[in-house]
Structure 1
Amino acid sequence: MPITSVRDHRLDITKGVLICLVVLGHLLEGMNNWKVPESRVPLTIIYAFHMPAFAFLAGITTKPTNLVRRVGPLLVLLVLFQIAYYWTVQLLGLKRTFALDTPFWILWFLFALACWTMLTPVMARFPKASTTVVIAAALMAITVPWIGYPYSAARMLAFLPFFTVGFLYGKRILAWTAAATWPLKCALSAGSVVAIVVLLRAQLTPRWFYGSASAEALNAGQLEAVVVRSGLMVGAAVLTVTLLAFLPNRKTIWATVGRRSLSVYLLHGFFVLTFSASLARMFDAGHLRTLLLVAVLAVGTVTICAAPGLDSMLRKISTAPFAQPKSAGIGAQQGATTLAPAGEPVTRRSLRR
């Protein structure tokens, strides 16, 4: 029988929405002004759930097979863009640090996704135990002072529960949100509003959202840190589920951007690094004017980075070293690697397994 594919467009739309929020958030951060309400409110909302949501979506489409062909391209992209960002920082004269044991800035997600993918066979074999362990690890990691930026270990553990839940239970959650009734949607919306209000009133330092700092670095007690991280995880889960419940399952411009989220994710950082110094200088010129400019720059950046061909080019470059001979036929195509931090087509090739 011919191979057919069924794509849940909500995955693509969610990717599109999230990657646009990522670009907007990074440009807003370029102003270095979390303390200003005009930028702090959108930054808090974005950082409250965008990376947990990406990890969740990545888990949904990750499979515990062909690990070399899935992990290898991620590491190829990590090396290539680590070099590209290093030379960009040098050319722009920016004060950004690089280390051999730490992925640069946004590239941490590539390394984390590679490591998470390597754990999927264990997760598939012991689903309940894996879920319990990764949640406990995420909560306990913040109490350990020496777990931090090196190897992106702190972030990897902080967001691993969302990847694990996506991998093990994501499709059930998608089905549940797709069938959500309006009373349920209203309840989720109310929960999201409460979560955002609590976060805004808490006035947390941005480092809480990054997942890279320990309780000691955050000047918090260990119990306090565990409680705050627990609250952040619950809030991120509510916001993610709420977003999924309201998104339509049809092709939209957001879905198009979502299908090209890999190129937007990897390339938008060059625009952010280029504009960040100018944005910081312009912010005092007028809050509203600067925020409007940031919004325009975000739209322009996404449009350029999501240009046709860029995403497929990056995928071809990264998968070339791991490509199987054409004689491998259909079997080779079935092992395609999911590179972007979100969903790809779900292939209906052997439902009887």
Structure 2
Amino acid sequence: MPFWDNARFACVVLVVMGHGVQRLTYDSDISYAFYLWIYAFHMPAFAIISGYFSKAASPTRRQMARVITDILVPYVIFEGLWTLTKWLVEGRADPNLTQPSWTLWFLLALGIFRLVLPYLALLRWPLVWALAISIGVGYLSNVNSTFSLSRTLGLLFFFTLGWWMRERDIVQRLRLIDFRPWWLRVCAVAVLATWAFTCWRWLPFWDDIDLRYWFFYDDSYSDLTADQWWAGGIRLSLIALALLLSACFFALMPRRALRWTTLGQYTMYVYLLHSFVLYPFRESGALRDLDPTWLWLPLVTLLSAAIAVLLAWRPVRRLFRPLIEPRPRWMFADPSLSSRTGHRSDPTGSRRGAGG
């Protein structure tokens, strides 16, 4: 269904935009507000999509092998590339596979989600348990960014929700994709616009409470200077906000196939490669002290979207496929488990033909 590929690609474009404008936030309130607007829902929406295309049944041998080839091997490869990059540019190298570099946390999160989901599916109220884990992990200061565990568990509810919706056939039974009258889309635009205004209007307050770090779902409540018993209520509120904004985001996604729809089948190329494109601009200071904002923010936003399209372009995919979709036959006792026969899958769940 084109809708899901459209939504998947739109999410990864927001990821690139968020990383692209991050340096602008130090010098521009509007850029900071735009950054908060994106981070309130883009990764929760991505996790929902990933969960929607996940299965809780016992995995087959081939599915188990794809966790290795599609998630673990690319993670090791790109951690190695980041170690080399930091050594060449910054003169330091601290290889540590337990601490994901920049965007690589999401690869580990996808792997952990798949490991946890079958156990959650055995429980009577999987959504309630997932929500309890997502909120409760914030109280544990010893659960940190090692193997991106704190962030993964913080976003677990969204991934489980996506799976639950598919398992209960919620989307089809309630016609959530087909039923989108004009007034619903107007309401979705109004909600997203209201959140944008809220980000800008009370920006000093959001900055004082470090709202951007709350949106990462990474730090414990004590690290966010909110170690009171009610701190979990803040995360619960942010989860509710993310669900509302994600619903509005999905309501505005086109249902038909567009020129860029197929790019949604290659989101991992964009996700894993864009950080290397942005790294020189972020580290060189080229994105600091840019004025006027009305010129540079739209320009950086458009360039971020162009980067996403470029990195999903077929020649780029052909060049980097050995790194992003490796097939290390030598690793397996049964080499056929890493063969290229049948369909290929993006780790977020998109399926395509073997020749994709």
TM-score (norm 1): 0.83
Q: 2:351 aligns with which of 334, 344, 348?
A: 344
Using the alignment, how far apart are the partners of 1:344 and 1:232 within structure 2?
A: 31
- 1:283/1:342 CA distance change after superposition, 3 Å: farther
State the 1:145 CA deviation.
1.4
1:176 partner amino acid? L
Secondary structure of 2:314's aligned partner: coil
User: 1:290-344: CA deviations, max 9, x gaps?
Assistant: 32441343134223311204446656653513697779999x737x5442x3533
Aligned counterpart, 2:170: 172
The answer to whether structure 1 residue 70 and structure 2 residue 66 are counterparts is yes
Q: 2:16 aligns with which of 11, 23, 33?
A: 23
Q: 2:5 aligns with which of 4, 9, 12?
A: 12
State the 1:121 CA deviation.
2.4
Aligned counterpart, 1:321: 328
Indicate if the aligned counterparts of 1:103 and 1:152 stay in contact, CA closer than 8 A: yes
Using the alignment, how far apart are the partners of 2:159 and 2:118 within structure 1?
A: 13
Aligned counterpart, 2:46: 54
Using the alignment, how far apart are the partners of 2:240 and 2:152 within structure 1?
A: 18
- 1:278/1:294 CA distance change after superposition, 3 Å: farther
1:104-183 equivalences in 2 (<5 Å): 104-126=101-123, 128-170=124-166, 172-173=170-171, 175-183=175-183
Aligned length: 334
Using the alignment, how far apart are the partners of 1:221 and 1:327 within structure 2?
A: 47
Using the alignment, how far apart are the partners of 1:152 and 1:245 within structure 2?
A: 30
2:105 partner amino acid? W
Indicate if the aligned counterparts of 1:71 and 1:118 stay in contact, CA closer than 8 A: no
Aligned counterpart, 1:350: none
State the 1:263 CA deviation.
0.5
Aligned counterpart, 1:38: 30
1:270 partner amino acid? F
Using the alignment, how far apart are the partners of 1:276 and 1:253 within structure 2?
A: 31
TM-score (norm 2): 0.82
Identity %: 25
Aligned counterpart, 1:3: none
State the 1:226 CA deviation.
1.2
* Runs of at least 5 residues in structure 2 that lack an aligned partner in the other structure: none
1:226-305 equivalences in 2 (<5 Å): 226-279=232-285, 282-305=288-311
State the 1:17 CA deviation.
1.2
Indicate if the aligned counterparts of 1:267 and 1:305 stay in contact, CA closer than 8 A: yes
Using the alignment, how far apart are the partners of 1:315 and 1:123 within structure 2?
A: 33
User: 1:42-61: CA deviations, max 9, x gaps?
Assistant: 10111011100111101111
Indicate if the aligned counterparts of 2:269 and 2:317 stay in contact, CA closer than 8 A: yes
Using the alignment, how far apart are the partners of 1:118 and 1:152 within structure 2?
A: 14
- 1:119/1:180 CA distance change after superposition, 3 Å: same
State the 1:190 CA deviation.
4.3
Using the alignment, how far apart are the partners of 1:39 and 1:249 within structure 2?
A: 30
- 1:197/1:90 CA distance change after superposition, 3 Å: same
| Deviates most, 86-95 or 240-249 | 86-95
Using the alignment, how far apart are the partners of 1:252 and 1:240 within structure 2?
A: 21
State the 1:9 CA deviation.
0.6
Indicate if the aligned counterparts of 2:281 and 2:287 stay in contact, CA closer than 8 A: no
| Deviates most, 242-251 or 37-46 | 242-251
Indicate if the aligned counterparts of 1:131 and 1:164 stay in contact, CA closer than 8 A: yes
Secondary structure of 2:282's aligned partner: helix
- 1:187/1:281 CA distance change after superposition, 3 Å: closer
Q: 1:213 aligns with which of 207, 219, 222?
A: 219
State the 1:132 CA deviation.
1.1
Secondary structure of 2:260's aligned partner: helix
State the 1:138 CA deviation.
0.6
Secondary structure of 2:96's aligned partner: coil
- 1:186/1:94 CA distance change after superposition, 3 Å: farther
Indicate if the aligned counterparts of 2:80 and 2:95 stay in contact, CA closer than 8 A: no
User: 1:170-198: CA deviations, max 9, x gaps?
Assistant: 45236424323344444444444454555
Aligned counterpart, 1:349: none
- 1:287/1:188 CA distance change after superposition, 3 Å: closer
Using the alignment, how far apart are the partners of 1:277 and 1:124 within structure 2?
A: 43
* Runs of at least 5 residues in structure 1 that lack an aligned partner in the other structure: 1-7, 347-353
Task: Give me the CA root mean square deviation.
Answer: 3.1
Using the alignment, how far apart are the partners of 2:10 and 2:118 within structure 1?
A: 30
